[in-house]
Amino acid sequence: MARKGIKMRDVLLYFIYAPLENVKLLSPIQLVKGFFFIKQELELKDFYEFEPYLYGPCSFEVYRDLKILTKERLITQVPFDERRKIAAQHVSTTPDFLGEYFKSWN
């Protein structure tokens, strides 16, 4: 899935790269839940698909893209309190990337 030449994987990478000031690392679950809320709030139709799962909505597409980004060495998944956290290795995006990207949806 892509819009105007931008892959959803790029949006995922942007979110990993630009977390909140006090958040240094995000877990895969935090990323999935964040994308679920974004999809709901912005009423995005052509976005990651979610389905009910053990502890709430889940997108296996997000997990797939995390594996791809790890394989491409764009992110690192590091152990953290018996869970994994995600850290960006390298991102080539601009600050306006996200706003422009979501304007193209719907």
Q: Is the pLDDT of residue 95 over 50?
A: no
Mean pLDDT computed over 31-57: 91
> What is the rounded CA–CA span in Å between residue 87 and residue 104?
27
Domain around 12: 2-103
pTM, 2 dp: 0.69
Task: Name the percent of the chain lying above pLDDT 70.
Answer: 62
pLDDT band at 91 (very low <50, low <70, confident <90, very high): very low
The one-letter code for the residue type at 99 is G
Mean pLDDT computed over 28-38: 89
Q: Is the pLDDT of residue 64 over 90?
A: yes
User: Any idea what the CATH number is for the domain that residue 37 is in?
Assistant: 1.10.10.10
pLDDT band at 90 (very low <50, low <70, confident <90, very high): very low
**CA 42 → CA 23, 102, 103, distances in Å?**
23, 9, 10
Task: Name the percent of the chain lying above pLDDT 90.
Answer: 22
**CA 68 → CA 9, 46, 61, distances in Å?**
9, 20, 11
> What is the rounded CA–CA span in Å between residue 70 and residue 29?
16
**What is the number of domains present in the chain?**
1
